[in-house]
Amino acid sequence: MAETHNQFKRIAWACFGLLIAMAIPLVLGWMGWEGFIVGFATVLLGFATFNLGFIEIKESRRERRRLRLKEQLEDLYSPLFGLGAREFLEFSCHRQADHRVHKKMEELQSRYKYLATNELRELLDIYYQTDIGPLSHDKQLWNNFIRPIWNHIVSDFENRSDEYNDLTGPVS
């Protein structure tokens, strides 16, 4: 709201300056009232067109960002977050091919990895390239391996949810 107010003040000052600049030839008799009115209206219309274009570009960027966040939340973060910490952090869930955690991680690798942040993508690359079999013998090693992935999923989910809610406005 404050940005819109500042933008309006800039346009108002520009129009005021233009009015003064155009009033000088009118006062000196170099131009008639008709020319002054037409010139002022033309410049005012130019300012309004420029301002509307600026607002349209800004809104289209917001809309593209909103759609990207919605896609990330629906296809990547919500399904992963929905697995729950206990299930995601459990080693056996990642080893059983018919378990939903294992299926979700495979689907993530093949379809939705592009939606992840760079940091999460790097962690997932390590996850997919690591033979997790030896990690099953040491619970501390497994927690050190899987915990950062879960923490990124949670923080990214919360950050994207907050940003999406900011872009879409308050929920009533």
Report the distance separating Cα 11 and Cα 17, nearest Å: 10
Per-residue pLDDT tens digits for 48-64: 888 888 889 999 999 99
Give yes or no for residue 4 having a pLDDT over 70. Answer: no
Residues in the chain: 172
Per-residue pLDDT tens digits for 74-132: 998 888 888 887 888 887 777 777 778 878 888 888 888 889 899 988 888 888 888 87
Could you write out the DSSP letters of every residue in 2-38? HHHHHHHHHHHHHHHHHHHHHHHHHHHTSS-HHHHHH
Q: Do 111 and 89 meet the contact criterion of CB atoms below 8 Å apart?
A: no
Token pair, residue 96, equals 């059983």
Under the banding of pLDDT at 50, 70 and 90, the label for residue 21 is: confident
In this predicted structure, what is the pLDDT of residue 158? 93
Choose the most confident range, by mean pLDDT, from 41-45, 154-158, 166-170.
Answer: 154-158
* Average of per-residue pLDDT values in the chain: 82
Report the distance separating Cα 62 and Cα 49, nearest Å: 20
